[in-house]
Amino acid sequence: MTKEIDLDWFASLVKPFLSKAKSTEIISLNGQVDQCDFVRLNSARVVQASKVDYISIGMGLRKGAKSVSCGLSVSTDLRSARQQLSDQLNLLRSWIDHVPDDPFMERWAQPSQSQDDSVLAASAVEEVIADLSDYARGLDLVGLYASGPLASFMATSDGHFHWHRRLRSFFDFSVYALKDKAIKSSWSGEAWANAEIKKKIEDAKGQLEILFKPPVTMPPGGHRALLSAEAVSDLLGLACWGGFSARAHLTAQSPLAALRSGEKDLSGQFTLEEDLEGFGIPRVQELGYIRPDRTTLIEKGRFSNWLCSPRTASEFDVTDNSASGGESPAALRLTGGDLEPSDAFDLLGDGIYLSNVWYLNYSDRQSGRFTGMTRFASLLVEGGKPVAPMVPMRFDDSFFSVFGDQLIGLGNRVERFDELSTYGARGIGGIASPFALVDRMQFPL
């Protein structure tokens, strides 16, 4: 076993280090500790198995109106880690007198402390993969298993100390029929839940049959569309690219500028909030400010709040709402509507079911226009019945259409999709959303 990085280890690293701050300085540390087993599967067999121990730290130094920062990863060996922190602090000290005063320097919050180090024991990776191989026998299953403790922390020399660590596990997978046709699914939580995962694999297997039919090519143009809850969550994820950031709005970079100005609105059924509490995200941000449990962003189709960091507030002379510097929602919840999931295909009638969407990007950011592809088990539906899988189609439409005047309704069941990205360290948060029925969505290719 490699060394487990817990609260005691962290405290013994940072507390003596932060005490080195001179009376004119404030030293800050924030970051993550990611200790994770990863196993990639292809055709239900292991392609790569890796263990990662990663401590990522952002270090800041303030002195009067000057500020410098750096990023580093440190050793899990305490002595080495102490030396690395000291070396970086010396580097920052050599720089700080040479930087100009920061005219928009934000103030630290009043010092606060919180800690949560309740970590369940992880299952042995060998046993998990053996079980998965058994459940997936005979299936063309592709996916990623990840499990291990994940911590986030923030501490300063003037008294902040926050440490939150939990066991986090997920299994993100697809069961393939032919070529690019598959059922996509995932499980995420803390302790490995064998029975749940086995059922999810069986459920995916049970939905495969239609994907063996020859795919149909739909004509380009407008089609009635049913977006699964996961597809809706992906579109909401795209909206986070500047949609709710005060800085993005104030620098004319937001795709939802017309929503904020009142020039356009979304459907009155559309209410969206940042939901830190629902996704168990620590409320403290990097300056020690405590974010609200929930922030309503869009209420009944109208812009309600942006996420404004103290930095943006200082630079643009507006009022902040304790947002983190990135001003992107860490967790979203779209309020459900009144459509029954069991009625969804009947309500669609003739049209396209988008099980999953892929490679979203803005095609015209200023007008909130986006593009992307259908993927996995997207289907042609006729008379309320799924008929055949589709050759992937490109859509190009706007938030103001899909979630605006073309939105017929939202499902009454809100499904939760945890953040599963693993660039750098593992992500946290996620998006909860219902399915959406859209009268006309544009598919140009």
Partner 1 sequence: MVTVAVPQGIGFCATADLSRPGLQKAAERALALAELTQKLGVYEGLGIDTLMPAPSAASSWRSPIARVSHDRKDWLALAAQEAGQVRQDSRIVYWSVSLQEQSTEQNIYIDGRLVSDQKFLFIDPLTSATAMVDGVCQVRHLGGRATAGCQQGGDEQIERVGFVGSCQRAADEAIALASAPACPTGHLDIVLMPDQMMLQIHESIGHPLELDRILGDERNYAGTSFVSLDMFGSYRYGSPLLTVRFDPGQHPATQPELASYATDDMAHPAKEQILIDKGILKRPLGSPLSVARAAKRGFELDSVANARASSWRRPPMDRMANINVDPGASSLDEMIGSIEDGVLMSTNASWSIDDSRNKFQFGCEWGQRIRKGRIDGLVRGPGYRGVSANFWRSLDMVGGPETFQVLGTPNCGKGEPNQGVRVGHASPACLFRGVEVFGPAA
Q: Which of residues 370-429 bind partner 1 (CB under 8 A)?
A: 371-373, 375, 392-394, 396, 398, 421-423, 426
Who contacts 381 (Cβ-Cβ below 8 Å, separation ≥6)? Answer: 226, 345, 348, 349, 350, 351, 352, 353, 387
Under DSSP, the state recorded for 345 is H
* Amino acid letter for position 92: L
Q: Cα 89–90–95 angle (5° rounding)? A: 95
Report if residue 146 touches partner 1, rule: CB under 8 A. Answer: yes
Strand segments, DSSP code E, in 119-160 are 140-156
The span from the CA of 163 to the CA of 256, in Å, is: 35
Identified binder of partner 1 from the candidate list 119, 182, 225, 381, rule CB under 8 A = 182
Nearest approach, Cβ of 41 to partner 1 (angstroms)? 8
Does the CA dihedral 256-262-264-266 come out positive or negative?
A: positive
Query: Contact letters (x/-) for partner 1, 352-371, by CB under 8 A?
Result: ------xxxxxxx-xx-x-x
Determine which residue in the list 4, 6, 25, 53 makes contact with partner 1, applying CB under 8 A: 53
Q: Which two tokens stand for residue 103?
A: 């005219």
| Cβ-contact 247, 327 below 8 angstroms | yes
User: What amino acid occupies position 259?
Assistant: L
When the beta carbons of 59 and 74 are compared against partner 1, the nearer one is 74
- Shortest distance, position 91 Cβ to partner 1, whole Å: 10
Does 194 engage in binding with partner 1 (CB under 8 A)? Answer: no
For residue 329, the minimal CB distance to partner 1 (Å) is 20
Residues 6+ apart with CB under 8 A from 210: 377, 379, 386, 388, 389
3-state secondary structure of 14: helix
Interface residue with partner 1, options 6, 7, 25, 52 (CB under 8 A): 52
The number of residues that bind partner 1 (CB under 8 A) is: 75
Position 203 contacts partner 1 (CB under 8 A): no
Q: Which of 336, 330, 344 is nearest to 286 (CA)?
A: 330
Among the listed ranges 16-24, 176-184, 272-280, 304-312, the one in contact with partner 1 (CB under 8 A) is 176-184
Bridge partners of 381?
A: 351, 386
Q: Does 10 bind partner 1 (CB under 8 A)?
A: no
Could you give the C-alpha distances from 163 to 115, 287, 288, in angstroms and in order?
Answer: 5, 14, 12
* Candidates 169-177, 227-235, 298-306, 323-331; binding stretch for partner 1 (CB under 8 A): 169-177
Rounded Cα gap, residues 277 and 272, in angstroms: 14
> For partner 1, which residue of 47, 65, 191, 216 counts as binding (CB under 8 A)?
47
Asked if residue 147 lies in contact with residue 122, where contact means CB atoms within 8 angstroms, the answer is: yes
Query: Segment contacting partner 1 (CB under 8 A): 49-57, 103-111, 161-169, 268-276?
Result: 49-57
Closest CB to partner 1 among 112 and 186? 186
Report the amino acid identity of residue 5. I
* 73 touches partner 1 by CB under 8 A: yes
Q: Least distance (Å) from partner 1 to the CB of residue 293?
A: 29
Q: Which stretch binds partner 1 (CB under 8 A): 13-21, 50-58, 278-286, 288-296?
A: 50-58
Is residue 216 a contact point for partner 1 (CB under 8 A)? no
Task: Give dist(CA 243, CA 39) in Å, integer.
Answer: 34
Residues 78-137 that bind partner 1 (CB under 8 A): 80, 95, 98-100, 125-126, 129-130, 133
What's the closest the beta carbon of residue 264 comes to partner 1, in angstroms? Answer: 11
Residue closer to partner 1 by CB (options 360, 410) is: 360
Residues in 227-266 that interact with partner 1 by CB under 8 A: 251-253
Considering only residues 22 to 41 of the shown chain, the ones binding partner 1 according to CB under 8 A are 36, 38-40
Residues 272-311, interacting with partner 1 (CB under 8 A):
none
| 77 lies in the site for partner 1, by CB under 8 A | yes
Strand-pair category, 182-189 with 140-156: unpaired
| CA 222 to chain centroid | 30
